[in-house]
Structure 1
Amino acid sequence: MSGPTPSVYPDLGALAGSGTLADIAGALLTIALVVAVLMLIVCAIAWALASSHGNVPVAAKARTGLLVAATGAALAGAGVAWVNWLLGVGAAL
């Protein structure tokens, strides 16, 4: 069976309102990144203040918040690259 090879790829234009959906997704990503950066700043300040005053429980919670905010920012940023990579792979198949 040596017929033509099928070309299957995502047709993002087939959905009605796909441009609006992309705008909403971009806006949500921007909000997620802004909130994550603000939380990084707030948690870093709280960790520094709690550590300097010897308040170990608050310092531990601030450190956890800092790590969670950093992970959230990394996932939100990496999500765009991952989806673009998947769309590129899908178009190449």
Structure 2
Amino acid sequence: MTISGLTPLVGPDFGAVGGSSQLRAIVGALLTYGLIVAVLMIVICAATWAIGSAHGSWQTASKSKTGLFVALGGAVLTGAALAWTNWLLDVGASL
């Protein structure tokens, strides 16, 4: 307690730690590449699923459908990881 009865604001200075902007850039670049690969896989699997279904190849259609759902899950998780990382870096800077 201080003399005036208020609690002083004491906390770590995360602005003094170097490299947070570089970490943000590296993580952003890696997650961007992850999203690009996931979107390409979505396009490829959807096209393969359509072609396999049109030609009556149920095995190809089934495996392409599974690949499409895995790629969608990867895109969602990668996008969520980008948002979560940015949120953690913002929270860490404001502590």
Taking structure 2 as the reference length, what is the TM-score of the superposition? 0.74
| Contact 1:50–1:59, Cα closer than 8 Å, also in 2 | yes
Q: Please say if residues 51 and 59 of structure 1, whose CA atoms lie closer than 8 Å, have aligned partners that are also in contact.
A: yes
The alpha-carbon deviation at position 25 of structure 1 amounts to 1.1
2:14 aligned to which of 3, 11, 15: 11
1:9 touches 1:91 (CA, 8 Å); kept in 2? no
- Identity percentage over the alignment? 49
Does the 8 Å CA contact 2:15/2:93 hold for their aligned counterparts? Answer: no
2:53 is equivalent to residue 48 of structure 1: no
* Deviation (angstroms), 1:87: 4.6
Q: Unaligned regions of 5+ residues in structure 1, if any? A: none
| TM superposition shift of 1:54 | 0.9
**CA distance in structure 1 between the aligned counterparts of 2:13 and 2:39, rounded to whole angstroms:** 33
TM-score normalised according to structure 1 size: 0.75
- The size of the alignment, in residue pairs, is 92
2:80 maps to: 78
Distance 1:6 1:55 in 2: 67
- The corresponding residue for 1:30 is 32
Which deviations, in whole Å up to 9, do the C-alpha atoms of 1:23-64 show, x marking residues without a partner? 211111110011110000000000000011111111111011
